[in-house]
Amino acid sequence: MSFAERGYGGSGGFGFGYALTPVVKRLLIANAAVFLVTFTIGTDTAVDWLAFQPGRLLSRPWGVFTYMFVHGGFMHLFLNMLALFFFGPALEVRWGSREFFKYYVIAGLGGVAMSFLFAPQAVIGASAAVYGVMLAFAMNWPNTPIYIWGIFPVQAKWLLGFLFVASVLSAFGGSGGGVAHFAHLGGLLTGFLYLKMDWRVPEALEQVKTSTRRARRLAIVPRKDEDQVERRGSVKTGWSQAEERKMLDQVDRVLDKISDRGIASLTEQEKRLLDEVSRRRRTN
């Protein structure tokens, strides 16, 4: 598997390049290190302590996370890390390291959750998380050609479509073969839902918070005065533009405090601020 074009243009395009990003590099190293430990202490011991095991969910809860770093053999590890190497860096560059790692873990957790619901058995491997990464790549660059065996070009969207159909048929068709098909399907579905529901939660919360602040502020500062501040910098209160802005910021902090702790938590100085602002607006 290889790309005709591989790289990460800032404009949203896909150019040529071979940069290995920080989180992808650490994930590759971590998976390789765990594999070496597994090889040293034995697969059975590693699986016993690090795999996700439904029967030991309460006694070894860390398995829901550590299972993503345990692999049953070299080819299992190699194929997962090869896909992560190809598909991961572009996403990390676009999203940032923290968001990429969060998405990777959530896709992995979604995989183990679906496996637990439909086929409760021991699960190991990074496949669910990697399937989620491949899905996100296809959603961002659907027409990028992926060369299967370095020969046959397939657009990313069609490759992921094939993987999804294969996962559904294998999971519900009873084709086990020691492969956690429900985990693969869970990684795909969790990644899709997470992306479609706007996974940039901090940005969404900040927008809600800003809207709420403005609505509450208008209860004290009338809209026409607020709009005047936006257009001309200040209203005719005898305050400069800087003073006006400082006052509005102070009002925001006081309103946040009322929202968190109630009006009884206000100090005398904060009460005077609200009274002063209301008085000046009424007399203006």
Tell me which long-range contacts 146-151 makes (C-beta under 8 A, separation of at least 24). Answer: 146/1, 146/2, 146/3, 146/86, 147/1, 147/2, 147/3, 147/4, 148/1, 149/1, 150/1, 150/2
Residues with active-site annotation: 127, 184
Residue 2 DSSP label: E
pLDDT for 118 equals 86
What is residue 261's predicted lDDT score, i.e. its pLDDT? 67
| pLDDT at residue 29, rounded to an integer | 97
> Residue 282: its pLDDT value, please?
57
Q: Are 34 and 23 in contact (CB under 8 A)?
A: no
Fold that domain 2-199 belongs to in CATH: Rhomboid-like fold (1.20.1540)
Q: Which DSSP state fits 123?
A: B
pLDDT of residue 31: 96
Inter-residue contact 185 to 114 (CB < 8 Å) = yes
Asked if 79 and 73 count as a contact pair (C-beta separation under 8 A), the reply is: no
pLDDT tens digit sequence for 56-71: 888 899 999 999 999 9
pLDDT of residue 10: 40
Q: Domain residue spans in the chain?
A: 2-199, 202-283
**Cα angle 209, 215, 218; round to 5:** 135
CB 67 within 8 A of CB 52: yes
> Is the full-model pTM beyond 0.85?
no
What's the pLDDT score for residue 35? 94
User: CA 51, CA 248: separation in Å to the nearest integer?
Assistant: 54
Which residues are CB-contacts of 138 (< 8 A; sequence separation ≥ 6)?
156, 157, 159, 160
Write down the pLDDT at residue 151.
80
Beta bridge partners, 148, equal 152
Q: Which residues of the chain have pLDDT under 70?
A: 1-18, 174-178, 198-241, 259-264, 278, 280-284
